[in-house]
Amino acid sequence: MVRLIKHLACCLGLSLTALAGSPARGQEAVVILSGDNHYYHQAARTMISRVKATAPEFGADVRYLSSLETVPIQSDQLVITIGTGATERVLKQFPHQQQLGLFVTESAWRNALERYGGTTSRKAVIYVNQPLRHYVTLARMLKPDGKIIGSAFGSASRQYEASLRGIAAQEGFSLASTTLGETDNPVTSLTPVMAQADVFIAIPDQATFNRNIARWALYLAYQQKIPLIGFSQSYTRAGALASIYSSPDDIGDQAGDWLIRFYSAEGPGTQLWSASHPRNFTLNINASVAMALGYRNLSEADLYRTLRQRVDSGAMSDDAGVH
């Protein structure tokens, strides 16, 4: 175990002294990473640094998921899980533990709570995905005269079809969508949706579904000159016109603020035990795709600024399209 902690301390850029500290009250927090993933390490590093800037005595016992087999967790410890694997495992194995989940989608969190019968009384989560309204707002900005949003849902994300349809209607769109099972042919399912859509929104689901859909959705969207809005930097690089996502630093910084409130003099009030989306996000565009679709003056900075203003104000008007 000592060797593991030394390794993680090095990976996270923390000294062993920093890891050995104690929080303002109670035992040190336990941070469980789903795996040796750069994004998980970065989120953990940013989170811990954010807390230590305010409370230098803060300590975090950083572990991999495999450590749950050999290293016990105390019943009064706060457990911070990073990634779906660790989050689901702790929900299942420690249903009454104080837990903050990070880097997990809203659908995965809800499905895990339902599957394992967990309680939300001492559970909090900062989702990795953005609110659906962000994507619909961006869709209206990109297609001021658009009438139909296209999308596809899998087993985990299909619960949000009705929500997307409602939000789209508020923006003046109707929704053309398909729900795919594990054995469905993506091309067969996506082709009629793309034939109707003015813009396509990719919805995050389980990893296998995401990979299967991304390839064909990007191909069909580009073939039919339809802007596709993705949910990761990889989506943009692969051919999405634009993507909205939160970086590990965004998630880690927000988690650090949550921890500062948790360890405050007032203690973990009930308002902390809730689910929230990331408060900050990144928007990037694929300049080559933008040119191919006829967007001659599409500025990433201007697009982000306008979207940020609309998100912050709650405005859903369509008077600021981009061309």
The predicted pLDDT at position 254 comes to 97
The predicted pLDDT at position 265 comes to 62
Q: Are residues 176 and 300 in the same domain?
A: yes
Domain assignment present for 183: yes
The predicted pLDDT at position 118 comes to 62
Domain assignment present for 287: no
Domain assignment present for 44: yes
CA-only gyration radius of the chain, Å: 21
Q: How many domains does the chain have?
A: 2
Q: Are residues 221 and 169 in the same domain?
A: yes
Q: Are residues 160 and 26 in the same domain?
A: no
The predicted pLDDT at position 120 comes to 66
pLDDT digits (tens, 9 = 90+) for 211-225: 888 999 999 999 999
Q: Are residues 239 and 253 in the same domain?
A: no
pLDDT for residue 132 is more than 50: yes
- Highest mean pLDDT range out of 5-19, 120-134, 281-295? 281-295
Q: Are residues 138 and 160 in the same domain?
A: yes
Domain assignment present for 88: yes
Closest C-alpha to 58, from 269, 261, 278? 261
User: What confidence tier does 10 reach under pLDDT thresholds 50, 70, 90?
Assistant: very low
pLDDT for residue 186 is more than 80: yes
Q: Are residues 193 and 220 in the same domain?
A: yes
Q: Are residues 146 and 107 in the same domain?
A: no
The mean per-residue pLDDT over the stretch 279-301 comes to 95
The mean per-residue pLDDT over the stretch 293-304 comes to 94
The predicted pLDDT at position 115 comes to 87
Q: Are residues 37 and 159 in the same domain?
A: no
Domain assignment present for 14: yes
Domain assignment present for 318: no
Q: Are residues 240 and 252 in the same domain?
A: no
Q: Check which CATH number belongs to the domain holding 304 and give it.
A: 3.40.50.2300
Q: Are residues 77 and 114 in the same domain?
A: yes
- Burial class (CB within 10 angstroms; exposed 0-12, middle 13-18, buried 19+) of 155: middle
Domain assignment present for 146: yes
Which residues form the domain of 30?
Answer: 2-128+248-276
How much is the pTM?
0.83
pLDDT for residue 208 is more than 80: no
Q: Are the C-beta atoms of residues 200 and 217 closer than 8 Å to each other?
A: yes
pLDDT digits (tens, 9 = 90+) for 102-121: 999 998 898 888 888 666 67
Q: Check which CATH number belongs to the domain holding 115 and give it.
A: 3.40.50
Q: Are residues 48 and 124 in the same domain?
A: yes
The mean per-residue pLDDT over the stretch 261-265 comes to 82
d(CA 81, CA 103): 8
pLDDT digits (tens, 9 = 90+) for 54-76: 888 888 999 999 888 888 888 88
Q: Are residues 10 and 105 in the same domain?
A: yes
Q: Following CA atoms 224, 227, 230, 236 in sequence, which dihedral angle do they give, to the nearest 10 degrees? A: 90
The predicted pLDDT at position 271 comes to 77
Mean pLDDT over each residue of the chain, to the nearest integer: 86
H or E segment and range at residue 112: helix 106-116
Domain assignment present for 319: no
Cα–Cα distance list, 122 to 48, 95, 96, 99 (Å):
21, 9, 7, 7
The mean per-residue pLDDT over the stretch 115-142 comes to 89
